[in-house]
Amino acid sequence: MDPQFNPWEKQKNMNGNEFSSIWVYLSATPLLGLTLTLAAYITAFTLYRWSGHNPLLNPVAISVALLICLLLGTGTRYDDYFAGAQFVHFLLGPATVALAVPLYLQLGRLRALLLPIVVSLLIGTCVAAVSAVGIARLLGASPATLLSLAPKSVTAPVAMGIAERIGGLPSLTAVLVVTTGIVGAVVGFKIFALLGITDDSVKGVAIGLTSHGIGTARAFQVSPEAGAFSGLAMALSAIVSALLLPWLMALLGFTR
């Protein structure tokens, strides 16, 4: 046997070469974005599960941080990443529609709470927009930023459409929507506990109205009832916001 031969060094070089080959192949195909997204979320959810579902380790927040580090570290352009990640993006539609199933299971309770839910949606939509825009205006934010903030509590595709319609920046709105969802998922149920709120339907409506899909995912971890009502509030608030926010921003003098 050659005394200079080192099997461990050979294995290390092989592993390095194999990894480099896999990366080169993935970076030239749409599989890159899909692979990175799935790997980041699996890693984030594993950490979340090991922590005992600590809301501070929200899987979406950790996934976003991991993906940003990966893209910056490897010099990967966002357009190249999204060429593959758009397959996951497409599934947002079917996932939203699937929320109708748990909602149907809560149909009897929904009928009993229909009026309070409608009132909550109308008031909550106005308060979410006006409070964010008002605080930002006091802090000296630009008009474009103010209008980008208005739909921050609406699910991302609808929020971006609203922002574009009223003169905001859709890309900034997308960031604000994700940030709002993560914050709501992390602190929302802690606030309910501090306020002594125990009704899961109330928690669900509040979370869905303010924290859309990310908050709804967290609500399902609390209970099926909270998740169902959160999904309902998320869907209805998107409709109400699309109809109400352009008129409300014009009434307040932010748009013409």
Q: Of 90, 110, 143, at which residue does a domain stop?
A: 90
**What is the pLDDT, as a whole number, of residue 109?**
75
Q: 54 with 154, same domain?
A: no
Best CA proximity match to 237, nearest among 91, 132, 127, 143:
127
Q: 80 with 100, same domain?
A: no
Q: 112 with 195, same domain?
A: yes
What domain range includes position 110? 93-256
Best CA proximity match to 219, nearest among 52, 55, 45:
55
Q: 81 with 101, same domain?
A: no
pLDDT tens profile 15-29: 555 655 655 555 556
> Per the structure block, which two tokens stand in for 91?
């599934």
| Under 8 Å between Cβ of 148 and 163 | yes
pLDDT tens profile 179-223: 898 898 889 899 999 999 999 988 999 999 988 888 888 888 888
**What is the pLDDT, as a whole number, of residue 30?**
63
Q: 2 with 109, same domain?
A: no
Contacts 24+ apart (CB under 8 A), 187-193: 187/55, 188/215, 188/218, 189/55, 189/218, 189/222, 190/55
pLDDT tens profile 95-107: 767 767 777 777 7
